[in-house]
Chain A
Amino acid sequence: MKSLVLTVVMLAGIAVLSMAMTIGFCVSTLNNPYFVSFTNGAKAEAQLLNVNLIVMNANNSNSTQLNQVEDLIQRKVDAIILNPTDSDALVPAVIAANKAGIPVITLDRSVNGGKVDMYIASDNVEYGKLEAQYAVKLLNGSGNVVLLTGVPGASATRDRSKGIMDYLSQYPNIKIVANQTAQFDMATAMSVMESILVAHPNINAVIAENDEMALGAIQAIKATGRTGIIVIGGDGIPQGIQAVKDGTEAVDIAQQPYKMAALGVSAAFFVVNGLSISPTSLSMPLFPVTKANVNQWIASGD
């Protein structure tokens, strides 16, 4: 991975001499640290490549994002990097860009139609599976597990839940005692977890589908004074990594939003410069961060 980035940077250095280009960058939301880091990665890479990056935030609204893509097409940008708010709803946006001859790179979430030049994402089913794997490992194959799921109906929720459930179903001694949504939100997770703790005196582990919910669960466990509950989260946001370091979060399935977006910008840069890239889809690796490797992870700087 690092070598790839390095190569990209070198190539970029050469290309800087050629021309300045404008790339539209459509992010689904910015009120979440994951996407903030994601956008920062894109900005840093664009600066490095001397690319003019137009950042547009859709506030999780499909129609807003569709309008934003149309605006970018009107402005005749050289490429569009799309982090879609929804896989289906943004198909017309991609088709419109195709018609205008503008290359499209999608990040973090796929689009189910139109022609996409490059697709980079983490595998959310794998994400869930890794969380479940660690839970089984840390519990030695048996125990009571609480599942905190994301926004009902969202693709990340569906995929992560599928990964978790498929894996856990192979272990009959792992019992899911509560399965509740906490909307990917810390405050909701705290309240939900508090109530779950009332109902279940014997909980061994909590699997949360992101770090925010894991942190909420940790707050709830702390408030009720319970100990010995393993909390597993994901995304690798700074607060989550800190919790791993503090020992309150056992595992954080870290994604690399910063690198993912940086890679997206470089991919766009190549495509615009007429270089074809293959493969046209790339799965960003996931890094389970534990107390054992947390310092190493922090040192690597993502």
Chain B
Amino acid sequence: MALSNGFIRKYGVIFGLLGIIIFFAIESPNYFFTTSNFILISKQSSINILLALGQMFVILTAGIDLSDGAIAGLVGAVAAGVTVATGNLFFGLVAGLGVGIGFGIVNGIIVAFAKVPAFIATLATMSAITGITLIYTQGEPIWNLPSSFDFIGQGNLLDIPFSIILMALSFVVVWIILERTKYGRHVYAVGGNIKASRAAGVKISSVLISVYAISGLLAAIAGIILASRLGTAEPSAGSGYELDAIAAVVLGGTSLFGGEGWVVGTIIGGYIIAVLNNGMTIMNISSYYQEVVKGLVILLAVMMTSFGKKYWNE
């Protein structure tokens, strides 16, 4: 009994995803349940999953990064703007990634040294970064991007969309970091018990700063893919994306209190959101109802996890 409940808690999210897929496959076998649609879903989820992977590092340390959507928006604009200005994609990408990591480090320093709670710190930087994006773009979209820029979000490599390759690569790297490296162990430990980690010789501030930097980096990649996919860097791009990223992480079973999480779960959480969006749109369900259904699914999933935990503790 106890074992099966622990099992449901960890793997329930997989069954949840399968259940949703089966539902849509029955409702729309010809359109939904096709290879090309699964490739499309992967492409659509890639931006959210990249943000979620970064968000996961932060949440594992019991923090939260509300600014990752804003960072994605700014990075898209900077990468596009620099590429257009210099005519060189490489400079654009370097500038974009640099901005992402830079603001991530700023978040980390505020949390680690100024001891501002992550929620407030990143809420503040989210607002500031959104403003910087508007100043940088003057509220106008940046378009007429060179085709090399478009490749990142629109191109294929061996028939696989490049954005999916980037997502898969990021997943593998994140998995290795969290599950196989000393640094990954430190991330889990700091989130689980910051005092005990310090007493075990872990350098707390470097762990905290680095998780926000990683979140900034992954948000930067997401922002570049977003701008490239649209062929346009929009001044309002990325706004609200942090919420879907947090939802994916929590759906995947990562505890908002830190210390516990599962990289595969985050990917599945991202897919649940993407499959719901795609499937309901294919079925032409009214957007009013779509919001309700999405909310209920997230609630249900999180309730299942917390119920499992409660049972386990007794």
Contact = CB atoms under 8 A, between A and B. Distances in A.
A and B touch in the complex (CB under 8 A): yes
Interface string A152-196: 100000000000000000000000011111000111001110111
B37 A198 contact: yes
B278 interface: yes
Interface stretch (B195-203, B261-269, B281-289): B281-289
Nearest to B239: A31
Contacts of B234: 185-187, 212
A36 interface: yes
Contact of B236 (A152, A185, A216, A223): A185
B134 A198 contact: no
Nearest to A195: B281
A190 B282 contact: no
Contacts of B236: 31-32, 185
A194 B279 CA distance: 11
A30 interface: yes
B28 interface: yes
B313 interface: no
A32 B45 CA distance: 25
Interface of A is mostly: helix
B281 A33 contact: no
Given A187-B237, A195-B278, A31 B287 contact: no
Interface string B174-208: 00000000000000000000000000000000000
Contact of B232 (A32, A178, A186, A223): A186
Contacts, number: 85
Nearest to B285: A180
A127 interface: no
A215 B139 contact: no
A33 B141 contact: yes
A239 interface: yes
Given A186-B234, A187-B226, A198-B34, A36 B281 contact: no
B8 interface: no
B139 A187 contact: no
Contacts of B281: 178, 180, 192, 195-196, 199
A35 interface: yes
B138 A195 contact: no
B273 to A, nearest CB: 11
Contacts of A256: none
A191 B235 CA distance: 18
Given A31-B236, A36-B140, A186-B232, A199 B40 contact: no
Interface string B42-73: 01100000000000000000000000000000
Given A33-B141, A36-B138, A180 B282 contact: no
A219 interface: yes
B215 interface: no
Interface in A199-226: 199, 212, 215-216, 219, 222-223
Given A185-B236, A194-B44, A199-B31, A33 B282 contact: no
B277 A216 contact: no
A242 B283 CA distance: 33
B231 interface: yes
Interface of B is mostly: loop
A218 to B, nearest CB: 9
A219 B40 CA distance: 14
B36 A152 contact: no
Interface string A52-71: 00000000000000000000
A5 to B, nearest CB: 24
B5 interface: no
A179 B287 CA distance: 9
Contact of B139 (A30, A190, A219, A222): A30
A286 B4 CA distance: 64
Interface in A249-272: none
Contacts of B31: 198-199
B154 A191 contact: no
B36 A198 contact: yes
Give the one of A178, A179, A199 with max B CB within 10 A: A199
B229 interface: yes
Given A199-B28, A215-B232, A219-B229, A239 B141 contact: yes
Contacts of A216: 230
A14 B283 CA distance: 62
Contacts of B231: 219
B114 to A, nearest CB: 26
Contact of A199 (B43, B138, B229, B282): B282
29 contacts: A30-B139, A31-B134, A31-B236, A32-B139, A33-B139, A36-B139, A36-B140, A152-B288, A178-B281, A180-B284, A186-B230, A187-B234, A187-B237, A190-B230, A191-B44, A192-B281, A195-B44, A195-B278, A198-B282, A199-B28, A199-B31, A199-B32, A199-B282, A212-B234, A219-B229, A222-B154, A239-B141, A239-B143, A242-B143
A-B pairs with lowest CB-CB distance, top 10: A36-B139, A181-B287, A195-B281, A199-B282, A31-B236, A199-B31, A195-B278, A30-B139, A31-B235, A198-B37
